[in-house]
Structures are given as C-alpha cells and as structure tokens.
Amino acid sequence: MAHGSIKDKVAIIGAGCIKFGDNFDQSYIDMVAAAGRLAMKDAGVEPSRIEAAWLGTYLPNNGLGKAGSTIADPLHLHGIPITRVENFCATGMDAFRNASLAVAAGMYDVVLVLGCEKMKDRAARGIPRVEHPSIGKGTTAPALFALAANRYMLEYGMPRETLAKVAVKNHYNGARNELAHMQKEVTEEQVLKAPMISEPFGLFDCCPTTDGAAALIVCRADIAKQFRDDYVLVKGIGLAAFSHMPYYDPTFDYLGFKSTQTASKMAYEQAGISDPAREIDLAEVHDCFTWTEITNYEDLGFCKKGEGRHLIEEGRTRIDGDIPVNTSGGLKSFGHPIGASGVRMVYEVVSQLRGQAGERQVKGASLGLAHNVGGPGAVSCVSVLGLP
C-alpha cells in the first residue's frame, strides 16, 4: 500500500474568514461571496486565476450548498471543476484535503477551498436531525458526545470542574478574537451553573449554533513565492473513517476516538513529527463539547490516554502554555458552522504562523495543527501546517 506524503508540495497563499455568529442579515450566498473574496484578496488573485474549487457544506439549506455550482455565480467561477464535500464535522477540512491532493497531484496550480454553513435559519434546537428513523432515532449532537464523556469520566474519575476549565480557556481566547461568535469570558462557576443540555454538558460545555464561512487559496508550493513571502506549507494531512454508528460497535470503549488517533498518525508520518506535544507550537482542535477537547489531547498524542485532564488543569494549553490549544476560541467560542469550521481552523493556524494573531499570538509559532472529529468518532481529519 502506498503511503504518499504531501509534505511541502502544497502552499496556502490566501486565507479569509468572515465574522461568525448569528448572521441573520446575510444569506448563504452573501457569506460565500464575502469569505471567497477575502481569501482571493489576501492571496492577490482574481477569480480567473482559480482553476478548481472545493466547497464544504454539511447540510444544504433551501437547496443552497447542495452542489459545488452554488458558489459559481457569487464568486464568478465558471467553467472550472467545483466539487461539494460532505463528511460530518470534518466537512470543511476534507474539502481542504481534497484541494491539496489535487494540487499535489499536479492537476492544478491555484485552487479555492470554501467552507460555509447557514445554521441559523432553522428551529431552535441546533442541527436538524437527519438520522435513521429507527436505529438512529433520538440522537442529538450533545447526547452522542455525552455518551462517551460519561463513560470516560466514570473510567478516569474526572469531574465536571475539569470540563469547565476548557470552556473558561476557550471563552478567554474567543473574547480576544473579533471574528468569534462568543466574545465574552466566562467563569468556572458560570459554566458549572448553566442549564443542563445533555449530562454532563451544560450550556457552556457546548459549542453554539453559528453561521459562518471561511476560504483558502491553495497553490503549488514551488510557485507560492510568486504570490507572497509568508506563505504556509502543508506538512501532512490525514483522514480516517471508522464505524458510521460507533455506538453500535461492541469494540468501542468510549474512551477516545480511533479516527483521530489514526488520522493524526498519518499526518505526523508525512510531516516527520515524532513528539507532537513538543514539536507543535499550537493546535486548533475540535472542541464541539468541552470533553471532546480533552480526549483530543490524548488522541492527538499530546499526552497519554487518561491524562488529558492535566493539560487543561495545569494551564498547559492556554495561549501562554507550552502547547496552546484553540487560540481562536475554538468551536466553543468561535462557533461551529460545520462545513466552515475545518477551513476556519486552517485560517487560524495560518494567521498564527504569519504572526498576525494580535494579542492571541503564540510567540515564534512555526508549526501548527488543525483537527476535526465527527460522528462522533466516525471520521477525523488532521492537518499539520508549517512555515517554509
């Protein structure tokens, strides 16, 4: 079996992200157009320079985002291949992965990746359920992750207070990010006293329901310098799918996600990373719920299984810690418009590596990671990005 590597073959030369939030005054098309133009402007390219595009949208609303051609008119991309990608919560990052692979294969020089999700045009209970009418009925996103969190917390004796610290940290970061949905700090006490959503997750343990869009311009690494000096290189990308309904899998121990463990191993191998906690300067990880961030620490190899709590409890994943996680505010505070999230995370890592993250800047950052997990555990995607 071939194990190719994408290392240093693909560069990110443009990145754009709109303000995430309750974007009631913007349509899906408005958000696509805004994010796409920001990225093109950042890269200094016109639509005519784009040779192919990938669109990440999890759930088309009113028919918008169902096919790649949804973005053809607003971004004036006619006569090129545009493909929509959908892969649960890894949708956006998988769009980025597909674009990178196409460039690495030599098919295109310059391509667009766009993630967009219009979530705030539905009833008030989060993601609409599109589950199987019997064997998948009764699921909610928080409940699916809570099933794992409860088993994990019982196994490792971890209290809700530890979960709350993740919310406090990510809200602290989000309060310093003008593009984030929730720009407000919270205290541990507020988190613990918030209304219960799905035990053990209270309101502040859950990411909000958010509108948003983000975009990237990706090109061949060897021509990146034509566009800018501070381009960012793709060092490795891995994606791994496991059981579509892991809650039926008798071999699933609910203590972590094999998909993240496997996808990160793929990415690390390509990037030549052997000690991620030491080598990676910052990570944007999938904190859809507070517990998810803790299991991510372990599944991404930042620490051993069952020891993730120490990273948050000891403050090691704060911006000033030795392995800063979710400097953007994370899904928790920045918001999680599903198809946009993976692209938005790459945007944050790019900003950090270019030194443009303002008061959230991780000093001297040269290697960053972005990660999504969906399903929960059905699919994960991990990207490692670095400076040339």
Partner 1 sequence: MAGISSYGLHVAAYRLPHDEIARAWRSKSAKGEKAVACYDEDALTLACAAAQDLIAGTDPSKFGGLFFASTTSPYLEKSVSAFIAFVHRLGAGAITADFANSRRCASSAVLAAIDAVGSGRADEVIVAAGETRTVQPGSSLESVLGDGGAAVSIGQKDVLAEILASVSISDETYDEFRRSEAAYVNEGDPRFAASHTFAPTVARVTELLLEKAGQGREGIAHIALGAGNPRGVKAAVKAAGLDAQKLVPPYLDKVGYLGAAQSLCTLAQALERAKPGEKILWISYGDGADAFLLEATGRVSDLPPSRVDAAVADRRPLETYEQYLKFRGVFDNSSPGPGETAVLHHNEHEWNLPLLAHECSGCGLVFYPPGPSCLRCGATEGHSRVPVPRRGEIFTYTTDFLAVNPDPPQITTVCTAENGARLFLQGTDFLPSGAEVGLPVEFQIRKLHDGADFPVYYWKARPASR
Hey, which residues are catalytic here?
Answer: 89, 336
Closer residue to partner 1 (CB): 271 or 331: 331
Q: Return the range that interacts with partner 1 (CB under 8 A); candidates 90-98, 146-154, 307-315, 352-360.
A: 146-154
SS3 category, 355: coil
Q: Report, in Å, the least distance between residue 246 CB and partner 1.
A: 9
CA nearest neighbour of 286 among 328, 320, 319, 314? 328
130 makes contact with partner 1 (CB under 8 A) = yes
Footprint (CB under 8 A) of partner 1, residues 195-214: 195-200
Q: Report, in Å, the least distance between residue 253 CB and partner 1.
A: 10
- The DSSP 8-state label assigned to residue 327 in this structure reads T
CA 96 to chain centre: 11
CA nearest neighbour of 321 among 330, 312, 329? 312
Q: Report, in Å, the least distance between residue 329 CB and partner 1.
A: 22
109 makes contact with partner 1 (CB under 8 A) = no
Q: Report, in Å, the least distance between residue 155 CB and partner 1.
A: 10
289 makes contact with partner 1 (CB under 8 A) = no
User: Which residue is it, tokens 């310098």?
Assistant: 225
CB 338 within 8 A of CB 58: yes
- The DSSP 8-state label assigned to residue 128 in this structure reads P
Of 22, 30, 249, 279, the residue at the interface with partner 1 (CB under 8 A) is 249
Q: Return the range that interacts with partner 1 (CB under 8 A); candidates 75-83, 108-116, 246-254, 292-300.
A: 246-254
Distance (Å, whole) CA 388 – CA 232: 7
Q: Return the range that interacts with partner 1 (CB under 8 A); candidates 61-69, 74-82, 173-181, 193-201.
A: 193-201
Q: Report, in Å, the least distance between residue 49 CB and partner 1.
A: 42
125 makes contact with partner 1 (CB under 8 A) = yes
Distance (Å, whole) CA 284 – CA 261: 16
Of 121, 248, 314, 356, the residue at the interface with partner 1 (CB under 8 A) is 248
Q: Return the range that interacts with partner 1 (CB under 8 A); candidates 23-31, 131-139, 214-222, 297-305.
A: 131-139
Footprint (CB under 8 A) of partner 1, residues 154-183: 154
Distance (Å, whole) CA 353 – CA 101: 22
What residue type is assigned to position 180 of the chain?
Answer: A
Of 8, 51, 131, 269, the residue at the interface with partner 1 (CB under 8 A) is 131
254 makes contact with partner 1 (CB under 8 A) = yes
Query: In 1-118, where do the E strands start and end?
Result: 10-17, 52-56, 82-85, 110-117
CA nearest neighbour of 125 among 231, 198, 217? 198
What residue type is assigned to position 27 of the chain?
Answer: S
Beta bridge partners of 212: 117
Distance (Å, whole) CA 125 – CA 140: 9
CA nearest neighbour of 332 among 181, 214, 129, 220? 181
Burial class (CB in 10 A: 0-12, 13-18, 19+), 23: buried
Closer residue to partner 1 (CB): 39 or 146: 146
245 makes contact with partner 1 (CB under 8 A) = yes
CB 365 within 8 A of CB 351: no
Beta strands across the sheet bearing 52-56:
82-85, 52-56, 110-117, 212-220, 10-17, 232-241, 379-386, 367-374, 282-284
5 makes contact with partner 1 (CB under 8 A) = no
Q: Report, in Å, the least distance between residue 129 CB and partner 1.
A: 4
Q: Return the range that interacts with partner 1 (CB under 8 A); candidates 45-53, 96-104, 148-156, 325-333.
A: 148-156
* Letter string b/e over residues 100-112, b meaning 16 or more CB atoms within 10 A of that residue's CB: bbbbbeeebbbbb
41 makes contact with partner 1 (CB under 8 A) = no
Q: Report, in Å, the least distance between residue 111 CB and partner 1.
A: 35
Q: Report, in Å, the least distance between residue 70 CB and partner 1.
A: 23
135 makes contact with partner 1 (CB under 8 A) = yes
Closer residue to partner 1 (CB): 143 or 223: 143
138 makes contact with partner 1 (CB under 8 A) = yes
Which residues are at the interface with partner 1 (CB under 8 A)? 123, 125-126, 128-131, 133-140, 142-143, 146-151, 154, 195-200, 243, 245, 247-252, 254
